[in-house]
């Protein structure tokens, strides 16, 4: 029997008393959709396993796009969030807070020594937005040099620093120039005394899991110093043990002036951070965030970092990434052009489009991501079991061999 239920603004929303709710149809009906949806409704997670509405299990190599590094429903994070929710959920930055203070102290102790103070926000794109503003304010300049294939977010400032997704939204912020990743000569030619900052990822995630090399980052540091420009390192996807070090810049000894973090920072609770060195100043009121640094997210982040340290997740990512590379590499696939891997950040570049193979993997119980049209990207939780990684390699061989 059809029943009309009064909705917002006097509209009637049709409901059916005898029809059970469909997760898919309900989202399709009400979501302002911007995601390329897959025909799968996820309702529960544990460790590196996700479950759909029918109870089928999937090996998760998406991890919320690199978010769930300590695993889904990690008991320490769950406990910390529950305890904090019963104590104090929100506290704006105009007041001091005990949990926020502990997190700020922890971040200063684990990040590179060149950065020591943090502005807390809610996402990676917010972190990059803040970095752009802070670089402008610190230098008095308005020009930036970024990398081709780089990705820094979808809000207008972060999108201005991003190489793709731009055309439909131009004009964006002016003053952003793009040079090939890992090309020192092009970088040197692009940076001048008018440059506020060079913005770069250590590993380009959305750009195809492309690894930066030590010589490039050493040159970037030297070039920025020569022109009194800032070096902004975006570790939104690579930070917090993903690449086998707590932060990917540690692989190359990079000392950033500004470090952008998010994704795995709080075990799945939305959180981001911008860490800055002593040379970056701010005036009170020039930036802010209603939810940034709220006690709930801070408690989740403290618990997440504690798990990472206690369980040695950076070392585990290094070992498990090597195990996967060995297991997958034992059987060459004719359709694979290249495999790029650092820790548990893995990109498999194909000679054809990746999407059909990602769908075939899902049908076999493995969830993976694209990174551009021809790259399969794997970002499993760092707590994934060895047997599950071996299963992922086996399923990849199946679908790539078809």
Catalytic residue annotation: 151, 234, 263
Scored b (16 or more CB within 10 A) or e, 165-182 reads: eeeeeeebeeebebbebb
Q: How many CB atoms lie within 10 A of CB 156?
A: 12
Q: Give the Cβ contact number of residue 290 at 10 Å.
A: 9
- What is the CB-side half-sphere exposure of residue 225 using CA atoms within 13 A? 9
* Nearest-10 crossing angle of helices 295-310, 75-85: 160
């Amino acid at each position: 029997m059809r029943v009309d239920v009064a909705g917002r603004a006097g509209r009637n929303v049709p409901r059916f008393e005898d029809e059970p709710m469909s997760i898919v149809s309900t989202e399709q009906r009400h979501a302002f959709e911007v995601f390329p949806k897959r025909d799968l409704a996820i309702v529960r997670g544990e460790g590196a396993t996700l479950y759909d509405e029918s109870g089928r299990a999937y090996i998760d190599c998406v991890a919320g796009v690199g978010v769930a590094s300590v695993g889904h429903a990690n008991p320490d994070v769950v406990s910390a969030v529950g305890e904090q929710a019963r104590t104090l959920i929100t506290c704006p930055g105009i007041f001091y807070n005990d949990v926020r203070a502990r997190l700020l102290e922890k971040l200063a102790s684990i990040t590179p020594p060149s950065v020591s103070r943090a502005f807390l926000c809610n996402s990676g794109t917010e972190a990059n937005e803040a970095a752009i503003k802070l670089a402008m304010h610190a230098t008095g300049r308005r020009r930036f040099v970024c990398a081709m294939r780089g990705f820094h977010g979808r809000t207008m400032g972060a999108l201005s620093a991003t190489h793709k997704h731009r055309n439909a939204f131009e004009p964006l912020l002016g003053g952003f120039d793009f040079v090939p990743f890992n090309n020192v000569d092009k970088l040197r030619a692009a940076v001048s005394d008018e440059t506020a900052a060079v913005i770069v990822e250590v590993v380009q995630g959305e750009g195809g899991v492309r690894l930066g090399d030590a010589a490039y980052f050493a040159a970037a540091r030297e070039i920025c110093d020569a022109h009194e420009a800032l070096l902004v390192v975006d570790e939104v996807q690579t930070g917090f043990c993903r690449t086998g070090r707590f932060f990917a810049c540690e692989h190359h000894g990079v000392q950033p002036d500004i470090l952008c973090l998010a994704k795995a920072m709080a075990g799945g609770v939305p959180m981001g951070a911008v860490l800055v060195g002593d040379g970056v100043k701010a005036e009170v009121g020039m930036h802010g965030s209603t939810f940034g640094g709220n006690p709930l997210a801070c408690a989740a982040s403290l618990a997440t970092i504690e798990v990472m340290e206690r369980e040695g997740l950076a070392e585990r990512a290094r070992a498990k990434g090597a195990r996967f590379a060995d297991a997958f590499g034992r059987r060459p696939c004719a359709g694979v052009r290249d495999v790029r891997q650092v820790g548990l950040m893995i990109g498999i570049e194909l000679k054809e489009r990746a999407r059909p193979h990602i769908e075939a993997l899902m049908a076999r119980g493995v969830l993976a991501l694209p990174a551009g049209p021809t790259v399969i990207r794997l970002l499993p939780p760092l707590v994934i079991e060895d047997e599950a990684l071996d299963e992922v390699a086996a399923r990849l061989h199946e679908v790539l061999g078809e």
